[in-house]
Chains A and B, each alone.
Chain A
């Protein structure tokens, strides 16, 4: 599965557009990590616990997008975008979306 943020993929032609695919998740860490993140916030620097939280959410959202694309029989997802919003305090909501396509190698 090729996933790109562009609308074309070098070396391939899009032969069929299968439609919109997306993946989203809302993840939280546990209260002990939140307390430690508050301490990290006090002393400055990278808030490592929240970096990890965002990365977990990003990977899970991506996997859901890939699963949707696989279910449609896609070879690739083009025009991938991420969006985020806040539903709950200390939770990370990430949504990624794109267009599932079928490819053929360019001649």
Chain B
């Protein structure tokens, strides 16, 4: 491996590095922040650099338990068991929710409370989905997800 394997950083990459390191003057910082608001790839570049900076300042030397955690993560019984259990739990929650909506819609009490109950359940599900969508959209820009301790 040599320096030839890595192309020199582009102007935008250098600007992003300077921004993350707090080296831009006030005008340059403001201009760069305007570009950040408009250019998603640039914002992603900044998020990746910030993640690197966060990990670099971590004082987290390996602990004896870490190697056992790594071995556990490679065992199918651990990862498969966890995934299967979470899948079962999720299926149970979704099934119960759908059953709840059906039960509310066909309940013996009056039309108005039935409609209100269904509206409440569907509204909660809608809020959850909107929040989940927002989280998934912003997740790539969250530089703290790889912090361990």
Residues of A at the B interface (CB closer than 8 Å) are: 1, 27, 32, 35-36, 46, 48, 51-52, 55-57, 59-60, 63, 66-67, 70
Contacts and interface: CB of A to CB of B under 8 A. Distances in A.
Interface of B: 22, 50, 54, 58, 65, 69, 82, 86, 89, 143-145, 147-149
B47 to A, nearest CB: 12
B89 A52 contact: no
Contact of B149 (A27, A55, A63): A55
18 contacts: A1-B22, A27-B144, A35-B89, A36-B82, A48-B69, A52-B147, A52-B149, A55-B147, A55-B148, A56-B144, A56-B145, A57-B144, A59-B54, A59-B58, A63-B50, A63-B143, A67-B22, A70-B22
A4 to B, nearest CB: 14
A59 B82 CA distance: 28
Contacts of B22: 1, 66-67, 70
A57 B149 CA distance: 10
A84 B89 CA distance: 32
A96 B29 CA distance: 24
Contacts of A56: 144-145, 147
Contacts of B143: 63
B144 A59 contact: yes
A60 B141 CA distance: 13
Contact of B144 (A48, A60, A67): A60
Given A1-B22, A66-B22, A59 B147 contact: yes
Contacts of A60: 144
